[in-house]
Structure 1
Amino acid sequence: MNGRPSGEPGRVAVLSDIHGVLPALEAVLAEPDVAAAERIVLTGDIAAGPQPREVVELLRAQGDRVLWVAGNADRELVEIRRGERTRFPDAISPYAARQLTPGQVDFLDSLPTSLTLTVPGHGKVFFCHATPRDDEEIVLVDSRPARWTEVFADLDEDIRTVVCGHTHMPYARLAHGRLVVNPGSVGMPYGRPGAHWCLLGPGTDLRVTPYDIPAATARLIAECAYPDIADWAGYHLNARASDEDALEAFGPRDGRTRVSEPGEGRSRS
């Protein structure tokens, strides 16, 4: 595991799956509890979306208070930009990769795949994108106990809380005595609109920040040159994929039988 220990912070705001949606990120950063948090931890899939360059710039401007973890979509942007990937996970990823500066590509490539912090009320907390061992693996709120045994196999015994993202749906549950937290998605929520995030320490507070989605959609259309931005924003910002759609689609990747993809060809993790 690629963990990075640190000293004990105070409250931690966790932002995951921003997917290059600048208006949603701005709304979350304006939250008083995010502004007051000692640390902001990003659990991956930061830039793959309509405004990748602007999102990375804004987050880097927050300074050392922000701790970064790479997601599979961040890795894919680097691979696309460097000509190492010819099959694309979705239509917007090649566009997003082209918008990044060379320095941003190098920065995303340098990010760790996990980190460990001591958080009041939680002890040692392990932050990752999908699971502790893989940046694309699927676990869900209703994953089987045996599944959690698999994904926790290499985790240190003294880690009692695991925070992950990837599936864009918020939840908190116990699995083999460990608390597992998914903050949901800031930029591409499934189930209900709004920018989803989490505040840790000493409790676990799943939050959703409402923002003006019609205004954000209009802004993306005005500022983003992606050809299908109106359709993309209308679908993802309004959370057209329900939580039932997402669970049905992701279930097979958790060892169940595949039925369909949520918003086939649109939604991703």
Structure 2
Amino acid sequence: MTPLNRVAVLSDIHGVLPALEAVLAEPEVRAADRIVLTGDLASGPQPAEVLDRLTGLGERALWLSGNADRELLAHGRGEDAPIPDDITPWAAAQLRPDHLDLLASLPATLRLAVRGLGPVLFCHATPRDDEEVVLVDSRPDRWQEVFDGLDDDLRTVVCGHTHMPFVRLAHGRLVVNPGSIGMPYGRSGAHWALLGPGVDLRTTPYDIDAAVAHLTRHSSYPDIAGWADYYLRARATDTDALTAFGPRDGRTGAE
């Protein structure tokens, strides 16, 4: 397989169309050979609009499923499923049957060759699970556990899920988290990554006030003003998120 020169990675859009539009307008995203969507695409205030916009990208976009996409599908099909947050059942009710069929078709992982990086494995949370938590400061034995069973030639793993961008080495593998486009933790803006020949973490600034106003006008989610203010303005700090996610990483208070 001929390696791709440039791959844009967009993760955790969470149904926020203004943030997505800002990133898609970036010249390097428009010029990328492929756009990889690493899950949690639509569970948010404009789920149908975001899926329609992404579908319009055609074959340039390569889609993966995240835990929120799986949960949307379950609620949309009337299955007995947990309710992870208030917006999930609401968002599921906004989707058409073709949206649900699309979500049902998405794979959990994707492998591509990227110039300068070789074979790259893309996933939502970890290669083996769509809601498992690993963090920038996860301990070495945790990464070894998560990587168990991967082919030796996979030296780069791209994941999302925790909404905080980072790049680190773990057991000789480069781990990349592009952060979140629609629900960033730590600082505002739409976060994504550009691969090839190296790794660049990018932040696209956009008019947050205008985006909050747009969502408030165009989304019928009952608490849209509060939701948009909290997530688009990144009211949750990186410390808040790391504290919340830490126990799910398997660590104890002494670590």
The two structures have a TM-score, normalised by structure 2, of 0.98
1:74-89 pair list within 5 angstroms: 74-89=69-84
Q: Residue 262 of structure 1 corresponds to which residue in structure 2?
A: none
Q: Residue 167 of structure 1 corresponds to which residue in structure 2?
A: 162
CA distance in 1, matches of 2:176, 2:230: 26
The answer to whether the Cα contact below 8 Å between 1:172 and 1:180 also exists between their aligned partners in 2 is yes
Structure 1 stretches of 4+ with a deviation exceeding 6 A read: none
Q: Residue 230 of structure 2 corresponds to which residue in structure 1?
A: 235
TM-align CA RMSD: 0.9
Query: How far apart are residue 86 of structure 1 and its match?
Result: 4.0
User: Greater shift after overlay, 248-257 or 126-135?
Assistant: 248-257
Query: How far apart are residue 7 of structure 1 and its match?
Result: 4.7
CA distance in 2, matches of 1:204, 1:84: 40
CA distance in 1, matches of 2:252, 2:91: 32
Q: Residue 194 of structure 1 corresponds to which residue in structure 2?
A: 189
Query: How far apart are residue 9 of structure 1 and its match?
Result: 1.7
Matching residue's letter, 1:194: G
Q: Residue 3 of structure 1 corresponds to which residue in structure 2?
A: none
CA distance in 2, matches of 1:177, 1:138: 20
Matching residue's letter, 2:29: V
Query: How far apart are residue 87 of structure 1 and its match?
Result: 2.5
Alignment gaps of 5+ in structure 2: none
Query: How far apart are residue 257 of structure 1 and its match?
Result: 4.1
CA distance in 1, matches of 2:61, 2:160: 17
Q: Residue 59 of structure 1 corresponds to which residue in structure 2?
A: 54
SS of alignment partner, residue 131 of structure 1: coil
Cα displacement string for residues 214-234 of structure 1 (whole angstroms, at most 9, x for unaligned residues): 100000010000000000000
The two structures have a TM-score, normalised by structure 1, of 0.93
CA distance in 1, matches of 2:81, 2:198: 44
CA distance in 2, matches of 1:9, 1:41: 12
Alignment gaps of 5+ in structure 1: 1-5, 259-269
Give the fraction of aligned pairs with identical amino acids, expressed as a percent. Answer: 70
Matching residue's letter, 1:187: G
